[in-house]
Amino acid sequence: MFSAAVLIGAMVCTLGAAAAGPADKPAIGPADKLRFTSTAEGQYVFDTGILRGELHQADKTLGLTSVVHIPSGTKLDGTYGIFSYYRVFTTNKRYGHAAWEWPCVSKLLPDGAVQIFWPADENRPIEMTATYRLTGPNTIDLETVVKAQKNLPQFEVFLASYFREAFAVPCVYVGENPEAEGKPGFLTAKKPLGDWQMFPRDQQVLPIIRDGRWQKEPNPVEWVIMPHMAAPVGVRRSAPADLTAILMAPPEDCFAISTPYEGEGHYSLYMSLFGRDIKAGQKIKARSRLVIAASTSNDRALDLYKEYMKELRAGTVSNTAP
């Protein structure tokens, strides 16, 4: 863990001084706008009036691609997509290179969501289902359901989101911000702190991060452990477009958020989901949300997270039973 003296060079992320305007949370459009549709070319596409994009209807997927913020014309996704399933681990073990290489099948659900299913095989004792659902004109929810075919110790799904180079500024909401007298705040991942930075939920999850899983080839990573999250909320900000991509999850579903430093060429943000033992035959679920917001302050980003948590507690977020 970095000391306050080392972290003093980190900066609080400024998501824009302007108060949230009408583009931040547009009025809910017609229900038929909040649906994926299937095309003859073999894709699932969506157009909410604020966001448009696609999911590939193929035997493999990179998550959300060709995503555009319509009012500004800004392209959002990078090389490997948004809400893209990357590394999958158990204790000191990695299952292949990336889940985006695993064969899968997909279907359009009656409510307009898209469900993707990865079956288990002889090398991977894991069934995994992802459900992508449009829950607002600028909001996409994702549910990840895993069923274990055998005991899976300290299971982790490393969910990746890659953005365009305009989204150069990554920040994570931490409990003790050295630039705010140790109070909670958004902390920018600056290069002097390390190339690859991970913000854990608490001290108890550090043995998972350090159990050897991140030294497995290909592309091993040496994470710099940053201050603990105050809540699982991370952002990627585009100053040129005055847009912020906000990624969030319930604390029990996400045990770390990680990112390369500001301006690094991956332009990525990652969520470590689950982080717990799964018994053979058990099925568990993790939830996450993406909001693309314009002219959004730090306070507004946190308000959006609080609204998400309130919806989950009230049961008003659409769910796919595990």
Q: How far apart are CA 106 and CA 266, in angstroms?
A: 28
More confident call, 24 vs 265:
265
Reading the block at residue 233, the tokens are: 């909320």
pLDDT on residue 94:
98
Q: What b/e readout covers 140-165, taking b as 16+ CB neighbours within 10 angstroms?
A: bbbbbbbbbeeebebbbbbbbbbbbe
What's the mean per-residue pLDDT of the chain? Answer: 91
pLDDT digits (tens, 9 = 90+) for 159-216: 999 999 999 999 999 999 987 888 999 999 999 999 999 999 999 999 999 999 999 9
The mean pLDDT value for 288-297 works out to 96
- Stated pTM of the model: 0.90
- The pLDDT-based confidence of 11 (bands split at 50, 70, 90) is very low
Residues 6+ apart with CB under 8 A from 174: 184, 185, 186, 187, 199, 226, 227, 228, 229, 230
Distance of CA 256 to the CA centre of its chain: 10
| pLDDT per residue as tens digits for the range 36-49 | 999 988 799 999 99
Cα distance between residue 258 and residue 172, in whole Å: 8
Task: Specify the pLDDT at position 180.
Answer: 82
- Angle subtended at Cα 110 by Cα 107 and Cα 112, rounded to the nearest 5 degrees: 75
The rounded percent of the chain whose pLDDT value lies above 90 is 83
Residue 111 in this model has a pLDDT that exceeds 90: yes
Q: Give the H or E element holding residue 257.
A: strand 254-260
* pLDDT score for 220: 97
Q: Is 96:123 a contact under the CB 8 Å cutoff?
A: yes
Q: What is the pLDDT of residues 128-139, one digit of tens each?
A: 999 999 999 999
Does the structure show a pLDDT above 80 at 21? no
Q: What mean pLDDT is predicted for residues 131-158?
A: 98
Say yes or no to pLDDT of 19 above 90.
Answer: no
Pairing of strands 243-248, 229-238: antiparallel
pLDDT at 8: 38
Query: 223: Cβ–Cβ under 8 A, 6 or more apart, which residues?
Result: 194, 196, 197, 198, 209, 214, 258
pLDDT of 179 reads: 77
Q: What percent of the chain has pLDDT over 70?
A: 90
pLDDT the model gives residue 317: 83
- For the stretch 210-248, pLDDT in tens is 999 999 999 999 999 999 999 999 999 999 999 999 999
In the predicted model, is pLDDT for residue 25 greater than 70?
no
Q: State how far the Cα of 81 lies from the Cα of 198, in Å rounded to an integer.
A: 20
User: At residue 5, does pLDDT exceed 60?
Assistant: no
Composition of the chain by helix, strand, coil, percent to 5: 15, 45, 40
Please report the pLDDT score of residue 202 as a whole number: 97
pLDDT of 112 reads 97
Q: Look at residue 31 in the predicted model and tell me its pLDDT.
A: 67
CA distance 306 to 230: 12
Return the ∠ at Cα 123 (arms to 119 and 125), rounded to 5°: 50
Contact 258, 201 (CB under 8 A): no
Task: Return the amino acid letter for 36.
Answer: F
